[in-house]
Amino acid sequence: MRGKKLYINTIGCQMNVYDSGKMADMLYRANYQLTDAVSDADLVIVNTCAIREKAVQKVYSFLGRIKKLKQKNPGLRLVVAGCVAQQQGRAIASRFPQVDIVLGTHAVQQLPDLIQELEKHPRQIIATEMTDFIDEPGPADFSCAGLSASRDGIISDFVTIMRGCDNFCTYCVVPYVRGREISRQPQAIIAEIESLVQAGIREITLLGQNVNSYGIKENLTSFPDLLAMVNAVTGLERIRFVTSHPKDLSDALIEAFGTLDKLCNHIHLPVQSGSSRILKKMNRKYTRESYLEKIEKLRAVSPDIAITSDFIVGFPGETDQDFQETMDLIDRVGFDSVFAFEYSDRPEAPASRFKDKISPEIKHERLQALFKRQKEITRRLHEALVGRRFSVLIEGASKNQIKHTADADAVELTGRTSENRIVNFKAPADWGIDIDRRKGETKGVKIEAAYSNSFWGVVADRPEMR
């Protein structure tokens, strides 16, 4: 019997990637097969992001294209999920009558039942009610964990450990579209990870809006203790986590980078601004000085740790001096890379009502200056790594095929270091015969050339670093 075709368009953060994977796994058991061609789909899901206006516009544009498809294929079903669905709810259904289901951020587990209900009683369904608990998957769901991984042959996957946020940064809509902070039970998290490892996953990224505060409200295991539990999972090679709020970065978590052998030597620590005055307006609850102190502690435990960050430029009231403090902080920390964005007003976020808005021209100018400075820092950091050896987790054949050598007795593979740096490297030709078997292996690689976003190397006898 032919399975139905499912197309998922995921916009936004890793949390949405995780939710999309869960929806795909649940619907797989309902006889839906993933397709890369939206025109072939019987069911289309767009998993949305509301963090910036540009992401919202992507959603509207996609829904316009699906309207034309539905005119040709009236049986096509359309689901809008994620943060825009939660934020706009009935307004989305009213503005886009081609939408069949509006699926809020707390209703992901309901999707198979809602689709069945839609088939029996065709109408628009809006499921945006928020709950104060997490609907944990059952044993059958855990046995299904990793379906996407086993089908796609990936070796790295995400696991959400908590939902929501209690920080209420003045620029952010997350507490309004994801709800208040609530943590999953540690036993359920470990069970899901074990199932993924059995499916071939070797690297796990733990997800949460603020993983540092995991378990505190519920008096559960602390986040450093949860990391130790994950570290003990047999067959798992590496652990990563995002996002980490600086105000809750504890000494115990910092020490974990020196004691847990599977914890990757990389932390994403969003600072948003280098000005304490702007940080206060953002309600970030830390200062420039306290952020720099935590950077010093991290590097005392792990001198070679890779540190990445997020920045918002042009926040309301940001002066030239405030921006120069951001540029100075970038110089002092020496981030491996950063994500940076121009501030934009978001519905419900308090900063949308702030005065002293910065002009688009100044915001753009500051963003370009920040990118230019960070590009210079990244180039210097990358060049300093040439000649060193790193442990690389193999992800498969290189897509770039740089072909540094015409050696017929070699094949080019790709992977990542513990510091999350992409490395394309030359390996013996016989490795290419069974690349799938090589996926998930960890090999030492000597770096021979550095580029802006990646490295080139050759297989080495031993890694200098983990």
Cα 243 from Cα 304, distance rounded (Å): 20
| Residue 126 bridge partners (DSSP) | 102
CB-based contact 132:182 (threshold 8 Å): yes
CA distance 464 to 466: 7
Per-residue pLDDT of the chain (466 residues; tens, 9 = 90+): 458 999 999 999 999 999 999 999 999 989 999 999 999 999 999 999 998 888 999 999 999 999 999 999 999 999 999 999 999 999 999 999 999 999 999 999 999 999 999 999 999 999 999 988 887 766 555 555 545 544 567 899 999 999 999 999 999 999 999 999 999 999 999 999 999 999 999 999 999 999 999 999 999 999 999 999 999 999 999 999 999 999 999 999 999 999 999 999 999 999 999 999 999 999 999 999 999 999 999 999 999 999 999 999 999 999 999 999 999 999 999 999 999 999 999 988 999 999 999 999 999 999 999 999 999 999 999 999 999 999 999 999 887 654 444 555 678 999 999 999 999 998 888 776 677 788 999 999 999 999 999 999 999 866 555 5
Contact 440, 202 (CB under 8 A): yes
Determine contact, residues 381/336, Cβ cutoff 8 Å.
Answer: yes
Instruction: Put residue 398 in one of left, alpha, beta given phi > 0 → left and psi -120 to 50 → alpha.
Output: beta
Packed helices 186-198 and 223-231: angle between N→C axes, nearest 10 degrees = 30
- Model-level pTM? 0.90
